[in-house]
A = this chain, B = another copy of it.
Amino acid sequence: METNRISQVVIKRLPRYMRFLSELKAQGVDRISSGELSELMQVTASQIRQDLNHFGGFGQQGYGYNVSRLINEIGRILGLDREHHLIVIGAGNLGRALAGYSNFEGRGLYIRALFDIDPERAGITVRGLPVYQMRELSAYLKNNKVDIAVLTIPKEQARQMARELYDKGVRGFWNFAHLDLELPGDAVVENVHLSESLMQLTYYMTH
Contacts and interface: CB of A to CB of B under 8 A. Distances in A.
Interface of A: 3-4, 11-12, 14-16, 18-19, 42, 77-80, 82, 84, 92-94, 96-98, 100-101, 103-104, 107, 109, 147-148, 171-174, 178, 180, 188-190, 192-207
A204 to B, nearest CB: 5
Contact of A199 (B18, B147, B203): B18
A148 B204 CA distance: 12
Contacts of A94: 93-94, 97
Given A94-B93, A204-B190, A174 B199 contact: no
A156 to B, nearest CB: 12
Contacts of A3: 207
A172 B42 CA distance: 21
Nearest to A94: B97
A206 to B, nearest CB: 3
A16 B190 CA distance: 15
Contacts of A79: 199, 202-203, 205-207
Return the 9 tightest CB-CB contacts between A and B, nearest first.
A79-B206, A93-B97, A15-B196, A190-B201, A79-B202, A94-B97, A15-B199, A93-B96, A188-B204
Contacts of A172: 201-202, 205
Nearest to A202: B79
A103 B195 contact: yes
Contacts of A148: 201-202, 205
A112 to B, nearest CB: 15
Most buried by B among A84, A103, A173, A195: A195
A41 to B, nearest CB: 8
B93 A196 contact: no
